[in-house]
Amino acid sequence: MLDSLEQEAEKRRSGEADEAQRRAERDEIYRMQLEPAMDALQAYLQRFMANLKIVAPRVALRHPIPGYGDVVAYLDHDYDLRTSKQTQAREIKLVSHATVASAECPSAVVRGSGKIKTVAALFQRHRLGGMLAPEKDPGGEVVAATFKAKGRIPLGLTASIDAASAQLKLGFANYDDFTTVGRVVPAAQVDEALFEEIGRYLLREPNSLLREDLPDNIRLHLKAKVQQQEIRRRWEARIETLQHEEVAMLRRRYTLAGRIAEAFGRLRRWRRPAG
């Protein structure tokens, strides 16, 4: 038993020594590579936003909302750069907005209380306005409404480092979609080339910042899934169109004019001579 205890104690001492060595290596990477790289990234972003405020290129974002369509917005270039620093951690935030171009957004009529509530909840979640002309049934339930997006979309870039991971963590809010995406970058890859990729990404120019090399089988699976979703969306749109046409036909049929026309039709058939 004593031998077993000594072996276990030696194993744990060896593991603690290895972990202490790895921690020391991460601390050195943090001090010697990541902290200077964050200084360089901050300087790059300061130059970046200063020039964009002057040039103000027209950059469009297109974010889909299920049941509505694409929300079109343009970057405002109202950048605000914020930094925070602790003993072994540091963060940079670049905050801005995009203004929705209502004239370029669809004016979508949504029918059915369930669909209306769903679309309205998505608008509210993304801080958008634009529900117009609601139609209510005799019980006061909204059964149809027109949606036309308006408002501003908050955008954000977050770059952070810490000694525990010795990596750069990037996060981008509401640039690709109404969501936050990110990437973890090893210290050795944090350089001017990465900063340029970040700039291209923020201006929606071609870039490889978030691109990953996927195996062929996964890439084919994702492609097939996208195609299936597109087919499903087309069928749903077709079914909804047919439903609207059927409802319109029934409304026409049961209006006064529709009933009169139907009665005349029956009368003509009744008076038509046989043979």
What pLDDT band is residue 58 in, cutting at 50, 70 and 90?
very high
Task: Say which residues have a Cβ less than 8 Å from residue 193's Cβ, sequence separation at least 6.
Answer: none
Contact 119, 110 (CB under 8 A): yes
Q: Which of 90-104, 126-140, 159-173, 213-227 shows the lowest mean pLDDT across its residues?
A: 213-227
Q: Calculate the average pLDDT of the chain.
A: 83
pLDDT at 244: 60
Query: Higher model confidence: residue 170 or residue 211?
Result: 170
110: pLDDT strictly greater than 70:
yes
DSSP codes of every residue in 85-107: E-SSEEEEEEEEEEEE-GGGS--
With cut-offs at 50, 70 and 90, classify the pLDDT of residue 19: confident
Looking at residue 109, its amino acid is: V
Mean pLDDT over 222-250 rounds to 62
Banded model confidence at residue 139, pLDDT cuts 50, 70, 90: confident
Question: What mean pLDDT is predicted for residues 41-61?
Answer: 95
Distance of CA 57 to the CA centre of its chain: 22
User: Is-above-0.75 flag for pTM?
Assistant: no
**What pLDDT does residue 265 have?**
62
197 CB-near residues (< 8 Å, 6+ apart) = 207, 208, 209
Of 95-109, 124-138, 210-224, highest mean pLDDT:
95-109
pLDDT at 53: 92
Q: Predicted confidence band at 112 (pLDDT cuts at 50, 70, 90)?
A: confident
Between 61-75, 95-109, 234-248, the lowest mean confidence (pLDDT) is in: 234-248
Q: With CA atoms as reference, report the closest residue to 168 among 180, 184, 154.
A: 184
pLDDT band of residue 116 (cuts 50, 70, 90) is confident
CA distance 118 to 110: 10
Q: Using one digit for the tens of pLDDT, what is the confidence trace for 214-226?
A: 445 544 554 566 5
What average pLDDT does range 229-252 have in this prediction? 63
Q: Which residue in the block uniquely carries the two structure tokens 């974010």?
A: 63
State both tokens at 166.
Answer: 């010795």
The pLDDT value recorded for residue 51 is 95
Q: Could you tell me the pLDDT band of residue 185, with boundaries at 50, 70 and 90? A: very high
The secondary structure element, H or E, covering residue 58 is none
Longest distance between any two alpha carbons in the chain, whole Å: 115
What pLDDT score was predicted for residue 218? 43
pLDDT higher than 70, residue 208 = yes
